[in-house]
Amino acid sequence: MAGNTIGKVLALTSFGESHGPALGGVLDGYPAGITVDTLFIQGELDRRRPGTGRHTTARNEADSLEILSGVFEGRSTGMPIAFIIRNTDQRSRDYSTVRDVFRPGHADYSWWMKYHNVDYRGGGRSSGRETAVRVAAGALAKLLLRRSGISIQGIIRAVGNVSDTSHDFPLHPSRLVPASSEQLEAAYLDEIERARMDQDSVGGIVECRITGVPAGLGEPVFDRLGADLAKAVFSIGAVRGFEFGRGFACAGLRGSQMNDKLEMRDGKVSFLSNNSGGIQGGISNGEDIVFRVAFRPTPSISQEQKTVTRAGSDTMITITGRHDPCIVPRAVVVVESMAALTVADHLLRAGCYE
């Protein structure tokens, strides 16, 4: 039983390979009557696109969205919204090593063991290019959430050994590499550049904040809001860690430090802190939802690495072509998109959207 659909009431089905005719998705359960701002969606796709920063891969596709259904005269109709993004820059010659050799750190070996075939044109469906589908669908989810006053924003908290020790969360972060200050942006870029010069790559951490979420979203005992956010974010290939609220730091805290005390403020229930990251007992409590995501360094590096051929003999591999030394800047919008799809799904599940 395959797993290319996520969400229960707002359900995204994703399809497409990196070097096939097109990638795309079908978003079912999207309510009728929402103005579909295609410029906004295209802008979100541009945030994910390689080649927008100095430091990203030079493969440059327009990632031009075509909506096939579910929108009429500029508004959603309640029918499934299908969209495709044609692959236009398919220089598969850059990837021919995939045919014969398992690339270390890639999906090559485990996918081969499962499917017993190989799309040697560039990773096929395990390629990060698939995340374009999530960004397009996530942008649609953001348009829906916006009508309910919910917004989602991610910034980078670490790249390699450069960490953001502040807790600042500026509304308008520097955008080439979303960071809490221009100094950090520059430091992140330097760290990425150092990796590139070393023919290597680096990982990083993205933090995401969701504001305006009403109390009451999440469906215990299994479909807790935190659990579904974790699932959605871990469905991004390069993610290796997820925490919300105080996260792993909770382990070292006392209950008296961790518990968010309550008080009445202006006639409303308020919390004196947000250590729980906006989710208690699996349900949103009206505070900002805050979570952090760890990304592994890009597996494609141009250093020579030990590996094995598909035929079963030892070999060395040097991955040529142009690859991101760090996907974290481009991943910010992907994280936001998965969060948007999850929160929108739960908003509809709870019947909170009108």
Residues 145-164 that bind a second copy (CB under 8 A): 158-161
Closer residue to a second copy in complex, CB, 82/152: 82
Asked if residue 197 binds a second copy (CB under 8 A), the reply is no
Alpha helices in 84-199 (DSSP H): 108-115, 131-147, 182-197
The residue whose two tokens read 């948007």 is 340
Minimum Å gap between C-beta 178 and a second copy is 16
Closer residue to a second copy in complex, CB, 44/295: 295
CA neighbor of 67 nearest in space, from 48, 86, 87: 86
Closer residue to a second copy in complex, CB, 60/92: 92
CA neighbor of 273 nearest in space, from 178, 180, 167, 172: 167
Single out the residue of 37, 61, 193, 219 in contact with a second copy (rule: CB under 8 A). Answer: 219
Single out the residue of 298, 332, 339, 340 in contact with a second copy (rule: CB under 8 A). Answer: 298
- Which range touches a second copy (CB under 8 A), out of 16-24, 49-57, 139-147, 173-181? 16-24
11-16, strands of its sheet edge to edge: 5-6, 11-16, 22-28, 81-86, 65-67
CA neighbor of 291 nearest in space, from 176, 169, 134: 169
Rounded Cα distance, 170 and 339, in Å: 19
Single out the residue of 77, 96, 151, 274 in contact with a second copy (rule: CB under 8 A). Answer: 77
Number of residues this chain uses to bind a second copy (CB under 8 A): 148
Handedness of CA 173, 178, 181, 183 (dihedral sign): negative
Contacting a second copy within 116-145 (CB under 8 A):
116-117, 119, 121, 124-126, 130
Minimum Å gap between C-beta 58 and a second copy is 18
Cβ(140)–Cβ(29) under 8 Å?
no
Closer residue to a second copy in complex, CB, 152/293: 293
CA neighbor of 81 nearest in space, from 127, 25, 159, 160: 25
Asked if residue 178 binds a second copy (CB under 8 A), the reply is no
- When computed from its CA atoms, the radius of gyration of the chain, rounded to whole angstroms, is 21
- Which range touches a second copy (CB under 8 A), out of 40-48, 55-63, 179-187, 266-274? 266-274
Asked if residue 92 binds a second copy (CB under 8 A), the reply is no
Asked if residue 226 binds a second copy (CB under 8 A), the reply is yes
Asked if residue 20 binds a second copy (CB under 8 A), the reply is yes
Closer residue to a second copy in complex, CB, 172/338: 338
Asked if residue 106 binds a second copy (CB under 8 A), the reply is yes
Contacting a second copy within 33-62 (CB under 8 A):
33
Asked if residue 2 binds a second copy (CB under 8 A), the reply is yes
Asked if residue 84 binds a second copy (CB under 8 A), the reply is yes
Contacts of 336 (CB under 8 A, 6+ apart): 138, 142, 152, 153, 154, 208
Tokens matching residue 107: 């999906």
Minimum Å gap between C-beta 164 and a second copy is 11
Rounded Cα distance, 329 and 331, in Å: 5
Asked if residue 167 binds a second copy (CB under 8 A), the reply is no
